[in-house]
Structure 1
């Protein structure tokens, strides 16, 4: 991760904000000591994974998924045979 000093951050703030917004977070240091981490607001935090598609390739959905158990459900509601 990029670490820059506070003077350089002030000089190039617009460019650095654009980079952070694209997901390229960075650290601002003062006298060589890290002070803050700049990240995009919509970026997932540490340890957070995107949930959509997290099991991709690990499971399969049957073609009749939307009809599975329909006979049993229908009989529970008094319909059918």
Structure 2
């Protein structure tokens, strides 16, 4: 990944964006220290949540929230 200093990024932003649109990525640095990454924008595709969509397909045990004493002791470091 190519490192570009801030001055170069400011003066050549249009050229950098053209290259980014083609898939390249750049690290923008301030005095040699990386501060940002310039990469192609990726739109995240999300679907709206549909409550009840899995109704009847999942079964939750009656005791799902009961504490397992053995696991609790392991977390507390009482058992190895």
- TM-score, reference length from structure 2: 0.51
Q: CA deviation at 1:42?
A: 2.4
C-alpha separation in 2, matches of 1:12 and 1:4: 10
The number of aligned residues is 43
Match of 2:10 in 1: 10
Partner SS, residue 23 of structure 2: coil
Match in the other structure for 1:38: 38
Q: Distance in 2 between matches of 1:42 and 1:23?
A: 11
RMSD over aligned Cα atoms: 1.4
Residue deviations 1:2-59 (CA, integer Å, cap 9, x gap): 001000100100000111111101010001100000111128xxxxxxxxxxxxxxxx
Q: Which runs of 4+ in 1 moved over 4 A?
A: none
**SS at 2:40's partner residue?**
coil
Gaps of 5+ in 1: 44-81
SS at the partner of 1:4? strand
Structure 2 gaps, min length 5: 44-80
Q: TM-score scaled to structure 1, two decimals?
A: 0.50
Residues 2-81 of structure 1 mapped to structure 2, 5 A cutoff: 2-42=2-42
